[in-house]
Amino acid sequence: MSIITLTTDWGDSNHYKGAIKGLILKNLPTTQIVDISHSIKPFDFIHAACVIKNSYHYFPENTVHMIAVDADIEPHQPHCIIKHNNHFFIGKDNGIFSLMFDCTPQEIIHITNHRISTFPAKDVFCNVAIELLSGKDMSEFGDAATTVKQITSFNPVISEHQIVGTVLYIDQYHNLITNIDKTLFYQHKKDRQFNILFRDKQFDLKKINTTYNESREADIFAIFGENGLLEIGVHKGKADELLGMYQHASIIIQWKEE
């Protein structure tokens, strides 16, 4: 069975999702369509990258993933088809793919044979997905490329005494999801204790939680989530509001020397 996933910033109060699903099923009636998320903030491809990166590998190989976030074409950000780990991704090369993948994808095609549209998810992405699943080779859609647009400013900055990260996005529980991953943290932590600093506030956290319920209500906690990224939260509270934090704000892990 063919599978197409949808990740968008459309929400649920318009016709966009229905139009896409109807067009797919009209052409490929047996296709299974899976909604990954339609709740990405408008144009927030960084959040979209985190969501897709941590979900696509659970799907069977040859799944087609449509990404309609910040999808309008721009001169230096073409629409493209990506093949990576035997999955196909259709979206705009605005930097999202460099955040999703840890290496250069298997194949990259810049889509050239399509018309300009105010609804590219329907008029470009959807048609490409249908033709891919109907047997058309991805090389027939445009020109091969060797790399995707790189975004490196979201990598943590590491020094001997600290790691400076950033808030990638804020989840539905108001937890702060950072770009500091578990492997990086423990590689540099060694046997040292640490403080977490943000917005000129310092928190003496002596451990990382293993579950969300280890902390008492209203306590600030740190935990590595299912995706391996460091989260800062307030137990049964709203960390972003209580701590005055926001997307792209800095998080500093400061090592305490003995």
- The parent domain of residue 66 ranges over 3-144
pLDDT of residue 258: 63
Confidence of residue 153 (pLDDT cuts 50, 70, 90): low
pLDDT at 218: 87
Write down the pLDDT at residue 27.
96
pLDDT tens digits, 224-242: 998 899 999 999 999 898 8
Helix (H) or strand (E) holding 17: helix 16-27
Residue 180 lies in a domain: yes
Q: Would you state the pLDDT for residue 127?
A: 94
- Cβ atoms 88, 62 nearer than 8 A: yes
- Residue 123: predicted pLDDT: 92
Distance CA 171, CA 155 (A): 20
Task: Give me the percent of the chain exceeding a pLDDT of 70.
Answer: 96
Instruction: Tell whether 151 is covered by a domain.
Output: no
Q: Are residues 161 and 136 in the same domain?
A: no
Residue 258 in 3-state DSSP? coil
Report the CATH number that the domain containing residue 200 is assigned in CATH: 2.40.30.90
Domain boundary residue among 119, 144, 169? 144
256 pLDDT above the threshold of 90: no
User: Residues 119, 130, 88, 58: what is their CA dihedral angle, to the nearest 10 degrees?
Assistant: 100
Q: Within 13 A of 21's CA, how many CA atoms are on the CB side?
A: 12
pLDDT exceeds 80 at position 1 = no
Tokens of 6: 């949808």
| Average pLDDT score over residue span 72-77 | 85
What pTM, to 2 d.p., does this model score? 0.83
